[in-house]
Amino acid sequence: MPAVSAAACCAAATPANEVAEDLFGFLRVLSDGTILRSPADPVFCPTTFPVSHPSVEWKEAVYDKAKNLRVRMYKPAATSAGRLPVLVHFHGGGFCLGSCTWGNVHSFCLRLAADAGAVVLSAGYRLAPEHRLPAAFDDGACFMRWLREQSSVNAAEAADFGRVFVTGDSAGGTIAHHLAVRGGSSAAAEPGETADPFTVRGYVLLMPFFGGVRRTPSEAECPAEAFPNLELVDRFWRLSLPAGATRDHPASNPFGPDSPDLSAVNLRPVLVVAGGLDLIRDRTVDYAERLAAMGKPVELAEFAGKPHGFYLHEPGSEAAGELIQAVARFVDGFVAAPEAAA
């Protein structure tokens, strides 16, 4: 059922039509299935976040007109480093909330572009429960196709499309995982180094939003006052997974009973970031350890004492800078494509 404005349906939430699910008042689902979304800015996304950076230029475009999906593009204003790597970024929000236009996402992407020395493309996607999974994964794949087309017909001078990396925060990290699996499972999956001018070199999963029916210790021991807590995470999965699915669905659990065998997938290098205080910490570390045991090219960076999404809560912090430097080191491990002859 399509979403409707809160103002138009405020009278709908009567005792006979109660609120069944409520996400901070920004998203409410009534017992009859009506979905109410508030146009207000979220309280955890204050307007005090920086909206500009002295060394970064940015603009916004629509990459899918039919779905009204947007992308914000960030480019360091001046550089002597030649063409820059491209970081495709997908925001978080439990697949139900979030936008590339939110202030915390915007501020983080500004700093990511500046400090990592990269062109950053922050892409939106359709949200649940209006569009349940795998809609977000499909939109991520759609954006990658759009970007490939743009790289061939309207190549940006600053961008090295031979060094594309897919990054994502929380739910966006889950999108990055599924794009990596799709790319590594395709018939044309990277038989070796290729002359294709558009090449995805690796993936960066920032505290990916994974789930499962069995509780991990970090989930079971998560305090109720944490953000997110277990109740909120379960609500996100109820609203985003296909109707009737459990948290072991392949969309949420990369090692569930029906999930693809990752040992058979030709994965590109992956950087996985975990937070010591994140309730999803155990799943994140387990993911990296299992990939390593399969012989996959994976790196794990764990930030002790840090909660889920700390780099978005305080994008100007020293810890956020350390995380961005970890991403930059990962990206810098891939040699830049040679400049075309004049």
**278 is a catalytic site residue:** yes
Q: Which residue has the tokens 């990369």?
A: 254
Mode of pairing for the β-strands spanning 27-30 and 35-37: antiparallel
For 302, phi then psi, to 5°, come to -110, 130
Would you state the pLDDT for residue 322?
Answer: 98
Q: How is 125-191 classified by DSSP, letter by letter?
A: ---TTTS-TTHHHHHHHHHHHHHHHHHHHS--TTEEEEEEEEEEETHHHHHHHHHHHHHHHSTTS--
Instruction: Give the number of other CB atoms < 10 A from CB of residue 177.
Output: 24
Span 42-50, average pLDDT: 64
**261 is a catalytic site residue:** no
Determine which of 53-67, 75-89, 199-213, 263-277 has the lowest per-residue pLDDT on average: 75-89
Would you state the pLDDT for residue 11?
Answer: 41
Mean pLDDT, the chain, rounded, equals: 89
Q: Is 129 within 8 Å of 96 (Cβ atoms)?
A: yes
What's the pLDDT tens digit per position in 143-180? 999 999 998 876 556 899 999 999 999 999 999 999 99
Measured over the CA atoms of residue 219, residue 89, residue 247 and residue 43, the dihedral's sign is positive
**170 is a catalytic site residue:** yes
**88: helix, coil or strand?**
strand
Q: What is the CATH number of domain 49-188+195-333?
A: 3.40.50.1820
Whether residue 197 is predicted with pLDDT greater than 90 in this model: the reply is no
Among the listed residues 170, 218, 240, 252, the single catalytic one is 170
Measured over the CA atoms of residue 77, residue 99, residue 199 and residue 146, the dihedral's sign is negative
Measured over the CA atoms of residue 31, residue 34, residue 38 and residue 42, the dihedral's sign is positive
Determine which of 9-13, 89-93, 238-242 has the lowest per-residue pLDDT on average: 9-13
What's the pLDDT tens digit per position in 85-114? 999 999 999 999 999 999 999 999 999 999
| Between 26 and 215, the higher pLDDT residue | 215
